[in-house]
A and B are shown apart, each in its own frame.
Chain A
Amino acid sequence: MKLDGGQALIKSLEAEGVDVVFGLPGGAILPVYDPLLDSPIRHILVRHEQGAGHMAEGYAQVTGRPGVAMVTSGPGGTNIVTPLLDAYMDSVPMVCITGQVARPSIGTDAFQEADITGITQAITKHNFLVQSAQDIPMAIREAFHIATTGRPGPVLVDVPKDLVDANNPASAMEWYWPTDADVAAELPGYKPTTKGHPLKIREAAELILAAERPVIYAGGGILKAHAAAELRTLAELCDIHVVTTLTARGAFPDSHPLALGMPGMHGTYAAVMSMQKSDLLITLGSRFDDRVTGKVAGFAPGAKVIHVDVDPAELGKVRQPDVPIVGDCRQVIAELTHVIRELGDQGTTAPDRSPWKSTISGWQERYPIAYEPHVAGDALKPQAVVESLHAAAPDGTILVSGVGQHQMWCSQYWGFEEPYTWVNSGGAGTMGFAIPAAVGAKVGRPDRTVWAVDGDGCFQMTAQELVTASTEHIPIKVAILNNGYLGMVRQWQEMFYDERYSEVYLSLDVPDYVKWAEAMGCVALRVESPEEIAPAIDKANEIDDRPVVVEFRTDDREKVFPMVPGGKANDEIVVPPFQRSEEAR
């Protein structure tokens, strides 16, 4: 079958099972948008290409399928650089197709030319500049293969215009669809390891059975590997507590008696301290991020480390493991559980861990995640807003957040019960992530309620994607925690810069969020007093034909606690003032 490159590109996406593409056309990618008209693939027209990238991420994070974004050359490509970084840092499978100027113009500073493969080399798992129309199906197939296997990540495919332009002879190609073997032959240097080494797994099992103070340190890799069920089996079998990192929230139910919540800079006291005092960290799909470890030299000094990761380069990058295991978390955990059962059957028993358990429950009782109650006349407590949103949320609601204090309160106060119900920007910390990511999540899971909890600062970065949501009938719900500040930065300035507030005040009234949201086709509400919180949320939950924006006026003095100050060891964790007074330390 003779096709032109543009048709071949769309047909390749169809062959990959793509049902939706997020994008915005322009000169270089224009020829690909023509065959798109005849394709069953849904296209969501964004208002800024950054939106397309984060939508693709949101879609990928809730469906487990790669998100696809398509943009034009030059500024189209550079506008999507931030989402590529974001997807790279959080290992989100994503394929980004960029138009490129025609091959004869490459290197001439042609109109809207940018070396996008050069620009994105450091923030993609891989990228290609397609060299001939005949290569298009293979390039697309390789891109999806690389994006979704091993440690997932973003892949960019740059397509010169002459190869997709039906009027250009260079676009002629004969259709084919590469087999797995064809793809493998094209990628001699790409062979991810999935099966863990049996001897290492046995060593790990023995360490687990011998440990007195073990903790499971579960990271985003659990969700990427679809290993939540295996994680729970392992934790319950061995009766070991679990911390879930920011990117792993939902991988283990927060209501479970073994759940310790989030570790790290704003983690729970019990999660942080249990890791500090542990004698064995069972590290599953985590990467010892500096927001978790604090000062590395002071992190979990007495712990041996089992480290399971599909990416060999994570083992020993930050902390030298005692037992390194390269492999897919699901397979490795299943194997590990199997071996532990076997050893148990053969009579191996774990030491008495009751002192450790009572130490942990002591921490939990003494330093729960908590905030001081609302005082009449004050602005709303942001934590109370998050709790109310959670209380009223239908089962299976997906929560998406921006970056800042509101993000940490979401992680702390929501209570995640199910995998893939939490979408956020972890490694990159990208302000502006929430709105477009929520749109993408709702497109991927139209059956679920999707709430975005955003900061006023973040909202102003990508709010225009609510226009996309309105016009494309994607009814997401947005709660703006409006404290009038770049709150997280304000918190640092208050605590570490002597309350010298430099360039963090945004304004409470400008923009008028209600008018702005209405102008974008949303239903909009403003909440200023505690009695209004629940009714407003109920009203928002009832609306299902349009996006809803609820602005909550929150207390700008509220800070996120606990906190391990930047660069400090986790032992120096700071609890909220009202917990300090009753301290015996």
Chain B
Amino acid sequence: MINIQDIRETARDMLTKGEVRAVIGYRRGSRGMLAEPTFITSAEQADELVWDPTCFHNLSLYLVHDRKFLAHIRKNAEAPVAIVAKGCDARSIVVLMQEHYFKREDVYIIGVSCEGTGVLDERKLAKHLNGAQASNVAFDGGDFVFTTAEGEKRLPAREVMADRCLECRIPFPREHNIVFGEDKTGRQLEAPFAALTRFEAQGTGARWDFWSHHFDRCIRCFACRSVCPMCYCDECVVDSITFPVTTETTAEDKANRIRWIERSAVRSENITYLMTRAMHLAGRCTDCGECERACPVNVPIRLLNNKMEREAREQFGFEPGASIGGPSLVASFLDRDPGDFIR
């Protein structure tokens, strides 16, 4: 069990000594029991920090924002930033460093182990609570304990945990400066890629029926892109904003500029967007689950990313976020890569 006081003490200590500029962590939010991201810069704020099953956010997104902001104001970081990171979050940080987005010494990773459980899936919880509202939730061994108007409600975590946590292979932030909680790697509650395997058991026709339905539903709000720490490109291929318009530019030039993807939220364009995004995340996505959680219409984005993750693992022996110095998936190859599909 993690004692939240230990995390607070670490934050307080580093801020007092001026070892870090800020601590990115979780605090109690304003919407029911949910935690929300917080950025604390003074030691007094350290008591705000919380750690509970609603700490789903992958905070490494804010390391990306921080770097973008520093670049914008043309400043160098004076001190590192500390960040509270779960296993999957720490792996995203590793990928960012692997891609030279920032250096190891720019970040101080306060690792938190998910131990025997993981984070909550709100949709699963809603079914269990039958409309009741929980005002608080805490870890307790293999259970989550909820505070509701009718009193305390205890549920086995595995009934309300996110799928990715059930399938998580390494619920522990191996890359860290300090870490809290036990490393329970191997506790595996469901087989890796279990949800994906269930889905893939269907035939081509059924898979297309499923996906065409979801591709129709996407409203192209780009929440999935905004929330993903790996979607850090200044200019996304989806937005054709790089086209320079000068006084010489004719209407025809404008009309004929390369648009890989139209902005309209129609099936064909949504497919191109979501498929391109899955390709761009292959070998980089660490299954933090944020894109699917952020999607307002519940497009099952995780399946696409999971598919790429499994192919990378099984075909190429590649594990995203495993090491800072390692090669990236699509910029490397092995002699033994499969080639029997090529005629």
Are A and B part of the same complex? no
